Structure 1
Amino acid sequence: MKALADAQDKMRSDGLPEQAIDVFTAFYHQLEGGASGLIPEAEVEPLTDVASIASLDYDEDTLRRAAAETVVIKLNGGLGTTMGMQQAKSLLPIKHRLSFLDLIVDQVTHVRQTLGVDLPLLFMNSFRTRDDTLAALARYPKLAVGDLPLDFLQNREPRLRADTLEPVEWPADPSLEWCPPGHADLYTALDASGVLDQLIEAGYRYASISNADNLGAVPDPAMMAWFAETGAPYAAEVCRRTPADVKGGHLVVRRSDGRLILRETAQIAPEDRKAAADLTVHRYFHTNNLWFDLHALRAELDKAEGVLDLPLIRNQKKVDPTDSSSPDCIQIESAMGAAISVFEGATAIEVDRARFLPVKTTDDLMLLRSDVYDVGPDYQLRARVDDVPSVELDKRFFGAIGEFDRRVQFPVSLVYASSLTVRGDWSFGESVIVRGDVVLEDEGRPRHVASGTVLSGI
């Protein structure tokens, strides 16, 4: 057990709370015992009979009562490393020089002003995003509600050597010795920071949780009223799956007790992949937008002595992703949405695709910055077309945000496009218009689309 003790000591030396160490220890024992985290197809049934957001209709008093008891929490730990960023992804400008962060603040402010409620907004930051985020939020001196903080801190844990399960040592870059514990750390971080009890003491009952890079997950009073009306301890927002969604997590029903559980891609055995990808059977994917009753979470954490019984996700990768010769390591993770299995009576609601607009790549960013999306008076992004075009940019030249910004001058019009595929070293001037299905092929040398050009495809 020396390897575990070394990992625990490393976390204590870093100042992490004992509750976070206890959670890590519980997952370590799962890992040590050979747990794979797999959820076999034979042990689950598909999710059916899901309520729909389309049927929600409440009067203003009902909306106001629910909003007055709700807190909005945004997960803001990501650095946007897949786009070559070294700061919080939420600081990226999206529309009219407004960043994710600006739009989120404006969305919450709109609900406050419309209903006359104190709707708190909190961010779960990581060690790497906290300073930049709080500096950006300083522009909004009236954002904080009462004595509530604007953020709380996500924990971190040691990465483990795949061969020995000892904590990784990497003197060349000590930051690579650490990893985030997955979004399920939300529950631990809320509790260990004291924020959970602070919210309850301030009179709040419900929490709406979503990723900061998903601008579709607006604070919707109708959703707040729906969740309050259900009396459920926990709820997940789901969307209809398409072929593009088969790699995402989806909700299923556990045969042994009828509870809803989340099955991530990493938890599907190779022999079950075909069945799991069948859209006629497993019809809904998890948007990573969820809701929970703060009192119910308090009760479950007390019952579990601070360590919720969540399934392990064993994430194996290289210590240094840029060095293929570096050792294999394991990141112990768990999904935030997996907590749905903990709460008896948890439920789900089918939402419109508009509530799922994550920005994971510069392909997504190009769409949101184009004229396909407008910002409404409620600061919600809405598509101007029924069928949003697909964008596929050559990652060699557009994958990093710096290269993307250098090569693409906005506005770019995609509202008449069906798809845009760019292969090779291209750049775009201002006011380029794309119509139909356009493919720009790699010509082996830099090419430029002049300002005002109309690109017409099939």
Structure 2
Amino acid sequence: MEKFEQKMKAEGLSQAAIDAFRLNYEQLVAGVTGLVPEKEIEAIEDLPRLADLKSNPVGDVKGLLAKTAVLKLNGGLGTSMGLAKAKSLLPVKDGKTFLDLIAEQIEYTRNQTGSKVRFILMNSFSTSKDTKDYLSKSHADLINEPDVELVQNKSPKVDAKTLEPATFPEDPEQEWCPPGHGDIYPSLLGSGMLNRLVEAGIEYVFVSNSDNLGATLDLDLLAYFAETGKSFIMEVAERTAADKKGGHLARRLSDGRLMLRESAMCPDEDKASFEDVSKHKFFNTNNLWVNLPKLKSMLEASNGVLKLPLIKNKKTVNPRDSSSPPVFQLETAMGSAIECFNDSGAVVVPRERFAPVKTTNDLFALRSDVYKVTPASTVVLAVPNCPMVKLDDKHYKLVDKMDALAEAVPSLINAKSITVKGPIRFVEGTSIEGDVLISNESSEPVTLPPKTYKDSVTDLTPAKVPAKATT
């Protein structure tokens, strides 16, 4: 650990960051598995619901907002979608980026309530410059505010064979990795921002991902959080069959605290129970509410470190070269902090508060007429359910490839599903209704004739087109 500490200090990282890494490293060396058997937890049967909270009066909105900060996690590059800049700078709706819509939401709330709710972006060393450059041109008033940026730490990669700091002289930056969004806590502490916010009278912070436009500042949730006096509240949504592989909320029997159990924490013999969505009903949306004075007290009582479960990812030091030396990347998840407080809570929210854009399938749907932008710059579904979008990964996985083929996203407002196999070029004037499959077995893009396609299968493979498409 001494070598890691020297390396981190040389990089200018705070003591809080070093202490958080030390805890992770100690868990790695000790071989902590993190497994949580079914017999050690109980399922959560019932929780408060946002729909029920909306019948309660909010009270002093302006006073509440004066004590509130909205913090967006903005450290991701969207590399899985082929992006090289901050993912939040991707145009998603009506030519506006995630960041444009988020900034407009803050400005709308301020104008409507007359209260200057705080706004904070948690950037990474990879997204900081691009984000600030963009904001300085498009939303200069926000970027010039105090403490608008919290920069997350970086974590040294661990050589998988020696458990010493990984080295990669060809590109020393590859020796570092993001520490996961659980780093929000040591970043707040180590930067001094936590103390500054508390001293400025900020009590409540709403934290969510910048690529989840459904995660807006909800006044009913804010009022509930303030009234309960809880340290930490997690927004959860109901699991469906599509979510059975993902983590769930549970209660630990040993101390009665709420906790998150991810798939990697489940012993093989308990997989059936883990995937039973009628038993374990709720998953974490990563929309969190944190009481800052209570977080400060907790950190002071635990020597500046929240004991979050370790997430151990095995990679290669150069992620683009599978022959480079194997390393461990040590991460934590911010939602895991729910188990650190004895008064944590959770609220069941509608699925629309969890609408992250993780793939080009999500982006394709978001750019369609299935979603609309409200006067408050929030993005909401225009229909009860978003249709399933399945684009061919070979041709649409990367944003630039999708943009080249989707000159105009078709109308999906009456669609149940759209499946695309092969390179299909979409142009203005196309509508999808019901369940539609469109294919092209050739490697060259073929333009889909603009019209309405309803409950149909259309094969546009050039050699087959003269034989007539089935529509």
TM-score scaled by length of structure 2: 0.93
Match of residue 10, structure 1, among 7, 21, 31: 7
SS of equivalent to 2:277: coil
Whole-angstrom CA distance in 2 between matches of 1:84 and 1:64 = 42
**Which of 327, 331, 334 is the aligned partner of 2:332?**
334
Correspondence for 1:80:
78
Match of 2:374 in 1: 376
2:25 equivalent in structure 1: 28
Structure 2: distance between partners of 1:247 and 1:366: 24
Pick which of 151-160 and 259-268 moved more.
259-268
Structure 2 counterpart SS, 1:51: coil
After superposition, what is the alpha-carbon deviation per residue over 1:197-239, rounded to whole angstroms, capped at 9, x for unaligned?
1111111110100000000001111211111111111000000
> Is 1:385 aligned with 2:357?
no
List structure 1 runs of 4+ shifted beyond 6 angstroms: none
Q: How does 1:211-230 map to 2 (within 5 A)?
A: 211-230=209-228
Q: Is the 8 A contact 2:364 2:409 kept in 1?
A: no
Structure 1 spans left out of the alignment, 5+ residues? none
Q: Secondary structure at the match of 1:26?
A: helix
Distance 1:11 1:132 in 2: 24
Question: Which one is further off, 185-194 or 311-320?
Answer: 311-320
Q: Which structure 2 residues correspond to residues 18-417 of structure 1 after superposition, within 5 A? A: 18-56=15-53, 57-59=55-57, 61-138=59-136, 139-143=138-142, 148-417=146-415
Residues 232 and 108 of structure 1: CA distance in aligned 2, closer, same or farther (over 3 Å): same
Structure 1 distance, partners of 2:127, 2:98, is 14
% identical aligned pairs:
44
Deviates more, 1:166-175 or 1:27-36: 166-175
Deviations 1:24-43 (A, max 9, x none): 01110111001122222221
Give 3-state SS (helix, strand or coil) of 1:189's partner. Answer: helix
| TM-score with structure 1 setting the length | 0.96
Counterpart amino acid of residue 40 in structure 2: E
Give, in whole Å, the separation in 2 of the partners of 1:103 and 1:310.
32
User: In the TM superposition, what are the counterparts of 1:411-430 in structure 2 within 5 Å?
Assistant: 411-430=409-428
Partner Cα distance (1:88, 1:366) in 2: 19
Instruction: Give the counterpart letter for 2:8 in structure 1.
Output: M
SS at match of 1:247: coil
Q: Report the residue type matching 2:301 in the other structure.
A: K
- Aligned residue for 1:87, secondary structure, equals coil
> Which residues of structure 2 form unaligned runs of 5+?
457-471
Distance 2:245 2:209 in 1: 18
In 2: Cα distance, 1:365 partner to 1:352 partner: 20
Say if 2:135 and 2:143, in contact at 8 Å, map to a contact too. no
Q: Cα offset for 1:73?
A: 0.3
Q: Report the AA paired with residue 328 of structure 2.
A: I
Q: Does the 8 Å CA contact 1:144/1:150 hold for their aligned counterparts?
A: yes
Coordinate RMSD, CA, aligned: 1.6
Per-residue Cα deviation, 1:322-379 (whole angstroms, up to 9, x for no partner)? 3332332211111100101111111000001110010001000001000000001111
SS of 2:377's equivalent in the other structure is: coil
Structure ID, larger Rg: 2
Number of residue equivalences: 454
Deviation larger for 160-169 or 298-307: 160-169
CA contact (8 A) 2:132 2:143 kept: no
